Amino acid sequence: MSKTEARLFNDESLEIRSNQESEAKVITGYALKFNTRSNVLGDFIETIEPGALDGTDMSDVRALVDHNPSLIIGRSSSGTLKLDVDEVGLRFEITLPNTQYANDLYENIRLGNISNCSFGFNIASQGATREKNPTTGLYFQRIKKISKLTDVSVVTYPAYNDTDVYARNLDQAIKESNKDEIEKMKFDLDIIKLKNMSL
């Protein structure tokens, strides 16, 4: 049986958005991103290569708080956790349950107290390579194949600084998306006007 691993460390760099007008509380973000480097994890630094999630078993992934199975906030088999692999990495969306710890989590994300994610996984047989840096003594690990994803977690201390989580609701996300498009159209129109004035 393959060993389940988790990735945790520290970061303070991400933006948070929220709106609590709607009853549905949704958090979204990236649990992992391809071609980014982890912090030092014991005696190694790690990166996850594009394609590492091709064919990965994601049939029953749990969404947790700090990898704690007693603090479950979503599950892929129930539809409360949605996962999508894109060119950036593994994107998730969780519709939070109406529990005290989930509501507390949402508030901490909204305030920026928690802003990162992690993931639990099994590396496939020969799914990773390691090379030692003779100068630093650290190994550099490339994960090429993950056989199973066990959980995505909202965490206080992530292994990868590039992970993120946002607090929002679906209605607000749609409004913000439309607002961004309208602002872009206005900006483009202003550029056209300026060009015409200079002619």
pLDDT digits (tens, 9 = 90+) for 140-151: 999 999 999 999
Cα distance between residue 193 and residue 191, in whole Å: 5
Residue 126 predicted with pLDDT over 60: yes
At 3 the pLDDT is 67
Contact by Cβ (8 Å): 124, 181? no
Q: How confident is the model at residue 183 (pLDDT cuts 50, 70, 90)?
A: low
Q: How confident is the model at residue 18 (pLDDT cuts 50, 70, 90)?
A: very low
Task: Write down the H helix ranges in 51-169.
Answer: 100-111
Q: How confident is the model at residue 170 (pLDDT cuts 50, 70, 90)?
A: very low
At 62 the pLDDT is 98
At 19 the pLDDT is 42
**Mean pLDDT over residues 2-11, rounded?**
55
Residue 45 predicted with pLDDT over 90: yes
- 29, β-bridge pairs: 92, 165
The conformational region for residue 188 under phi > 0 = left, psi -120 to 50 = alpha, else beta, is alpha
At 17 the pLDDT is 36
Mean pLDDT score of the chain: 82
At 162 the pLDDT is 78
Closest residue by Cα to residue 164 from 18, 36, 28: 28
At 72 the pLDDT is 98
Q: How confident is the model at residue 167 (pLDDT cuts 50, 70, 90)?
A: confident
Residue 194 predicted with pLDDT over 70: no
Q: How confident is the model at residue 84 (pLDDT cuts 50, 70, 90)?
A: very high
Dihedral of the CA atoms 92, 98, 102, 103 (nearest 10)? 120
> Taking the domains of the chain in order of start, what are their residue ranges?
4-168, 170-199
Contact by Cβ (8 Å): 143, 48? yes
Of residues 193 and 28, which shows the higher confidence score?
A: 28
At 199 the pLDDT is 53
Burial class (CB in 10 A: 0-12, 13-18, 19+), 66: middle
